[in-house]
Structure 1
Amino acid sequence: MDYRIELIPLAVQDADRSIEFYGTTLGWSVDHDHKISPELRFVQVTPPGSACSICFGVGLEMMAAGSSQYIQVVVEDADAALAELQGRGVACEGVDDQPFGRFVYFQDPDGNRWALQQIVRPT
């Protein structure tokens, strides 16, 4: 049996601000933005090349208010990822070189943290 992670919820305070960050600033696909009522809204965005999306919105109650996620994703090239993020105006520092990978870190406006890892194989 396969277990595929396809959706990760994020707690956000302002869905429109998060759509702006993930959709416009990061350039990720905004797959769904369904406003069922003023009390219920579902938004789903997907990073380029990912089989897993993230969701947020209003009234979803998937995560406690004020909580945050830490999500790690794999990228082919940490330097290219850093350059793309900085080119889009995302606050992030240089590449963090570790024996087990090269990392780039950033946060969304609600404090959800992201680590982009370039896997390093021992030679």
Structure 2
Amino acid sequence: MDWKLELVVVPVSDVDRAKAFYTEQVGFKADVDHRAGDDFRVVQLSPPGSACSIAIGTGIGQSEPGSTKGLHLIVSDLDAARAELADRGVNVGDLFHFGAEGRTEGAHPERADYGTFLSFDDPDGNSWLVQEVGRTRANRGASGA
């Protein structure tokens, strides 16, 4: 039997502001925006190509806004992803990797899968890491090799 991760709740203080950030700046798709009275609202948002979504809202969790740290996204071209986020106004960090001395500026020396990261925060301080996976395969496919 498969067990698939479907949804991660991300606590925010202003649902409309967070929805705009994730859809307009980060590029997530708004799948659902459901209200049931004044005390319950759930907005489900999905990253492009992802089977797992996040949920923001009112009355859907007990964590403090900004308390979610280390959510991971993966992309095949971290340079392009960084440029896209920056062009949309996201305050995105520089590429980094982990070496013998810990966190080190710049891409992984071999550009190995899972080796290069960038980070950004949403308006409440929930933190995200974007990790590069499949760069070599994606580049091979683009060149026709």
TM-score norm. by structure 1 comes to 0.89
Provide, for residues 84-110 of structure 1, a one-character-per-residue CA deviation record: whole Å limited to 9, x for no partner. Answer: 111111001221124651111100011
Alignment: residue pair count: 120
Match of 1:119 in 2: 133
Look up the equivalent residue of 1:18 and give its one-letter code. A
Q: CA RMSD in A?
A: 1.7
Which 4+ runs in 1 deviate beyond 3 A?
Answer: none
Q: What amino acid maps onto 1:57 in structure 2?
A: G
Which structure features the higher share of strand residues? 1
Distance 1:106 1:85 in 2: 9
* CA deviation profile, 1:39-90 (whole Å, cap 9, x unmatched): 01011000000000000100112x4224223201211011111111111110
Who wins on radius of gyration, i.e. which is larger?
2
The residue type paired with residue 65 of structure 1 is: E
Paired with 1:3 and 1:56, the residues of 2 have a C-alpha distance of 23
Question: Matched residue of 1:37: which SS?
Answer: coil
In the alignment, which residue of structure 2 is the partner of 1:92? 92
Asked if 2 retains the 8 angstrom alpha-carbon contact of 1:10 and 1:69, the reply is no
Higher relative helix content: 2
Q: Say if 2:68 is the partner of 1:54.
A: no
Distance 1:112 1:98 in 2: 25
Aligned-pair identity (%):
43
- In 1, the alpha carbon distance for the partners of 2:22 and 2:80 equals 18
Give, in whole Å, the separation in 2 of the partners of 1:103 and 1:119: 10
Change (3 A) 1:19 1:27: same
Instruction: Give the deviation of 1:120 after TM superposition.
Output: 7.3
* Distance in structure 2 (CA, Å) of the matches to 1:43 and 1:68: 17
Partner of 1:64: 63
Gaps of 5+ in 1: none
- Of the structure 1 ranges 19-28 and 64-73, higher mean CA displacement relative to structure 2 is found in 64-73
